[in-house]
Chains A and B, each alone.
Chain A
Amino acid sequence: MKAIRNICLTLLYLFLLAPIIVVFIVSFDTRQYLAFPPESWSFGSYTKVFANEAFIAAFGRSVVIGLVVGLVAVAIGMLLSMALVRYKFRGRDTIGFLVLAPFLVPSIVLAVGLMLVLSPMGLLDSYAGIMLAHLGITVPYTVRTITMSLMAVDRRIEEAAMVHGASPFTVFRRITLPLVSPGLIAGGVIAFLISFDEATISLFIVSIRTSTLPTEIYRYLEYSTDPQIAALSVVLILISVAVVVLVERLIGLRKAI
């Protein structure tokens, strides 16, 4: 009974992790075309990826875009969360709903809308345009994580600080901010990762000038599936794993997503 259960679970996990495992294996294949199983092993694909200027440039752009988006999304998310958690005002529920509304809209629909808005402003295929688009889909996440950590902060601790003579700004800087910082970091990391991995919306917004790594891979894959992509994928997966470990350490993965 228990053995059957364990076998079933193992198979399901195998299915879930299959593409990642396979990509890892293929990335060491020496051949120029996609085939399985590999005939011989080498780091050839990796060498090629690191020599591919288009990939390197796209990787750099993705990192920059992700960092900026992560920072801004955290800043906006922190301000919004403070207002939503700490104050009562008219329209609070509406704003609270609107903030999370992008979760409720299929991303391809949002992508078309963003494209329509950015185009007349001349922001298609620009850093500002792609960052703005990514901000739209990451702010809901940062608001959610930061709101959760803010709500976990005991109001009485802040009151105690005030009673002991701290000004509201000092209370925020010395008490609130340190207490919610795991939430801030987690929110920022997730925002970075979403931006870094995002393909759907990016494909509508960027073309050559600001193509991100996922869009570059997508366009490459439309024509070729050689092991170079596998090597690149492994690099991306390793970055994700690093981030997952970081997030798990900070706040626990289940709360963050």
Chain B
Amino acid sequence: MRDRGLILALLIPGLLAMLATFILPMAWLLRASFSTSTMMQVGFTLEHYRAALADPFYWKVALNTLTLGLTVSAFAVILGYPIALFLARTTSRWRGVLTALAVAPLLTSAVVRTYGWMVILGDRGVINGTLQSLSIIDTPLRLSNNSFGATVALVEILMPYAILAMLAGFGRLSTQLEEAAAMLGANPLRVFWRIVLPLSLPGVLTGALLVFVLAISSFVTPRLMGGGRVFVLGTEVFSEATVTLNWSLAAALSVMLLVLFSSVIVIYQRALRRLEA
């Protein structure tokens, strides 16, 4: 067929880019995690996995990562839900502007917004500064350089993703269904509980998953907000890769992150199927 050559010509640049930026890196990652050298891919050993799994520190790190991911996704979804619901239902002419405002933070660098949270939660930051100048407290509250700060910042940084995912997932909601329920005798609370919430749950689940994935793989925010005291898989992968220069261990930790992530995806899909069945 004449189209064959054309199709191939259309595909080749993309396929090459995919090979170089996705397929090869993933293959190399797996290969490196079994390598006997720290920086080259040679030999075969399970040593890095053994080392990681035998070290209680990495178990703690994995647990921290899971806790951070779950906390952040829960709060991002809970705080994002009212905004998403409002944006999905409003007929206000400000809707476009308000949607843009809710999503715009997504388009400012995470580094910049992390800095913003350092300013807010720092020892001489907005909160401590205000409370001290009002003489409510003497010594600054410990709001940053700990996992609290990292969690708060990540919730805000990832909330727009939750809002977007929820908005996209709210397709089955309609004011007419709510009106129908009201006509049948449901008061506003029951309309929410029996109609709005069940119908928006798939969107909520997708939002939570998205935020979870981004939270467990984050390292810029935990590192800057944690002030070196928050240890999650992301920060450990980064320091193994760029400070300790043990690339094979970094690769092994990445694979473990991927496993953690995949198992969450599987759980998510089960939940979604049950919701829609």
Residues of A in contact with B (beta carbons under 8 Å apart): 5, 8-9, 12-13, 15-20, 22-23, 26, 33-37, 75-77, 79-80, 82-83, 87, 89, 95, 98-99, 101-102, 104-110, 112-117, 119-120, 132-133, 135-137, 139, 143, 193, 196-200, 203-204, 214, 217-218, 221-222, 225, 229-230, 233, 236-237, 240-241, 243-244, 248, 253-254, 257
Contact = CB atoms under 8 A, between A and B. Distances in A.
B82 A110 contact: no
Contact of A37 (B4, B116, B129): B129
Given A98-B22, A109-B258, A197-B107, A34 B119 contact: yes
A241 B106 CA distance: 11
Interface stretch (B25-33, B178-186, B199-207): B25-33
Contact of B22 (A136, A237, A243): A136
A229 B115 contact: yes
A37 B133 CA distance: 9
Interface in B188-209: none
A41 B14 CA distance: 51
B129 A36 contact: yes
Contact of A117 (B28, B164, B234, B258): B28
Contacts of A200: 110, 217-220
B28 to A, nearest CB: 4
B168 to A, nearest CB: 8
A23 B25 contact: no
B24 interface: yes
Interface in B93-143: 96, 98-120, 122, 124-126, 128-130, 133
Given A193-B107, A203-B242, A117 B129 contact: no
A27 B214 CA distance: 29
A80 B13 CA distance: 8
Is chain B's binding surface mostly helix, strand, loop or mixed?
helix
B224 A221 contact: yes
Given A34-B118, A254-B164, 15 more contacts: A16-B156, A80-B11, A108-B237, A110-B25, A112-B25, A112-B29, A113-B28, A113-B29, A139-B18, A197-B109, A200-B220, A240-B108, A244-B100, A244-B107, A248-B96
15 contacts: A9-B86, A18-B120, A19-B117, A36-B130, A80-B10, A95-B11, A108-B218, A108-B238, A108-B257, A109-B258, A113-B29, A113-B254, A117-B24, A135-B17, A229-B115
The 4 closest A-B pairs by CB, nearest first: A19-B116, A136-B21, A113-B25, A106-B217
A36 to B, nearest CB: 4
A253 B99 contact: yes
Contacts of B254: 108-109, 112-113
Given A17-B105, A204-B238, A230 B115 contact: yes
Contacts, number: 268
A135 B115 contact: no
Classify chain B: how many residues form its interface, as a range.
35 or more
Given A98-B22, A101-B22, A107-B217, A217 B115 contact: yes
A236 B120 contact: no
A112 B237 contact: yes
B220 A26 contact: no
Nearest to B262: A104
A197 B112 CA distance: 9
B34 interface: no
B13 to A, nearest CB: 5
B62 interface: no
B171 to A, nearest CB: 12
Contacts of B219: 108, 200
Contacts of A120: 40
B10 A83 contact: yes
The interface centre, meaning the residue of A137, A241, A244 with most chain B CB atoms within 10 A of its CB, is: A244
B210 to A, nearest CB: 10
The interface centre, meaning the residue of B40, B103, B119, B133 with most chain A CB atoms within 10 A of its CB, is: B119
